[in-house]
Structure 1
Amino acid sequence: NENEVVNYFMLKNRSRQFEQIIDRNNLRLLVKLLKQGKIIWYAGDQDMGKKQSVFAPFFGYPAATLTALSRLVRLTQAEV
């Protein structure tokens, strides 16, 4: 989110609930932690465009579905 006030409160709230917050641009750390077997809560963006999505049926309607999680699983052999 580009709104600094919203970001502040989101980060403050998430920091209370999670041991570590991983910046969206720090993919190396995410991969490293997954390979170590750490538990990750991944909140993917809902719309990353056609390049990062495939269309799959959702209640009978085609919906953009992110491919990032499946690629991370293949790369790290993480359990889902």
Structure 2
Amino acid sequence: MRQAILIFLLIINIISMFQLGQYDSGDLIALMSVRIILGVITIMLSIAYILVRGTKSIAILSIITALSALLHLGLIVYINL
């Protein structure tokens, strides 16, 4: 179940990163709170799964998902500057 949640969040973050390039700055501001909440929840769940010490595959998937969420939040900041 943990792997399914992490894969789902990873896919949602990747889709959101691709959609960032399609919006103007005004449209991006309207969706920014949803994107920030998605990124923060993804990072928090990934860190929680790392701290729980599950299997090695869950730990690797958690790290990849956390990095994708950090990249997503970084892109949001970069585009809005």
TM over 0.5: no
TM-score when normalising by structure 2: 0.34
Please say which structure displays the higher CA radius of gyration: 1
Higher strand share: 1
TM-score when normalising by structure 1: 0.35
Higher helix share: 2
